[in-house]
Amino acid sequence: MSNKDERPNRVPTSDDVALLAGVSRSAVSRTFTAGASVAPATREKVISAAKTLGYRVNFLARGLSQQRTNLVALIVSDMDNSLRARTVDFLARGLATLGFRPLLLPTEPGEDVSYLIDMMLNYNVTGTIVTSDTPPAEIAQECAAYGVPLVLINKPEVGTHVSNVSIDTATAGRLAAEELATIGCKRIGIVSQRRASHTIGQRKAAFIATIRALGLDIAGDFQGAVQNYGGGAEAAEAFAESGIAVDGIYCVNDFMALGFLDHFRRLSDLRIPEDIKLIACDDIAEAAWRSYDITSVRQDPKSVADAAITALSRRLEDPEAAQPHVVIPVTLIRRGTTGASDPT
């Protein structure tokens, strides 16, 4: 019977590379360690032997032995929302560029997060970034207990040991309200959701406060279950059934606005923007599509992702240092649903 090490499917090890290259095992390790000193001739022999054998460094095993895996858990939900998907894409790419290894952990609001915590701790993650609507308190407590740096995106603050990155929700709500007032709207309808959302709740509150300060009338709040396309469709049906007259609509996010517009056009003889002006928030890619052409308050997912990665890096460098709550600015993009266009 042949020795098990002679099996053709056996994964080659660093010992195999060292033997074939005629060097020590430590020379192989230095060759595949960034910044380590190794003679050019030795490096060439090791690389050649590794290619011949099909050897790859097991960075996870190395990280576990060194107590740092460079795995960063990305806890996400609502990936059907293109804004969330783009943010996660920028996070993953940005982390990979810096040598981190993104670990995607999907979840849904209301779901038990204990299994996520188990996975993070079992994989010995270097850090965690939460982009989902999952309540972060339990995750934050466990990360603090085990010394895992944590960054929350658009979530409530839960303590000084956690970094926060948020869009400027107060300005987002105010800009939308001021724009509707500027273009002459007097009676405003709101399209929102019944499911709680920290960020949407804040910008909706800012919108309502500004509308009232401007002396305008909030005629109704037409809701769907969730802040997505289906929720927008449900809100359009509620608006059509109400018979309430408005000349302006504020959708709490673009995803809802897509569903609202499609079903509003089917259910009503009124026209946007001729009869009703509509403004939303986020400026997702679909908002600029010709069939929607939505005036929106833009948040930049790349700026959010970059700020989150920077916050995580700072946590790793100095876990005890106080970190500021980073607020990302927003801008108004004018398009056809308010009867305007923006060259940008």
pLDDT digits (tens, 9 = 90+) for 312-333: 999 998 888 888 899 999 999 9
Q: Exposed e or buried b for every residue in 72-96, given b needs 16+ CB within 10 A?
A: bbbbbbbeebbbbbbbbebbbebbe
DSSP 285: G
> Radius of gyration over alpha carbons of the chain, in Å?
26
Q: Where in the chain is the domain with CATH 1.10.260.40?
A: 4-57
Output the pLDDT for position 321. Answer: 82
User: Mapping DSSP to helix (H, G, I), strand (E, B) and coil, where does residue 305 land?
Assistant: helix
Nearest to 199 by CA among 230, 229, 173: 173
Q: Where in the chain is the domain with CATH 3.40.50.2300?
A: 71-167+301-329, 169-298+332-338
Topology given in CATH for the domain delimited by 4-57: 434 Repressor (Amino-terminal Domain) (1.10.260)
Residue pLDDT, tens place only, 176-201: 999 999 999 999 999 999 998 889 99
Strands (E), the chain: 71-76, 101-106, 127-130, 150-153, 163-167, 187-193, 217-224, 248-251, 277-282, 295-298, 326-328, 331-333
Residue pLDDT, tens place only, 209-222: 999 999 999 999 99
Q: What is the CATH number of domain 71-167+301-329?
A: 3.40.50.2300
Residues 96 and 102 sit within 8 Å (Cβ to Cβ): yes
Topology given in CATH for the domain delimited by 169-298+332-338: Rossmann fold (3.40.50)
Report which residue type is found at 116. L
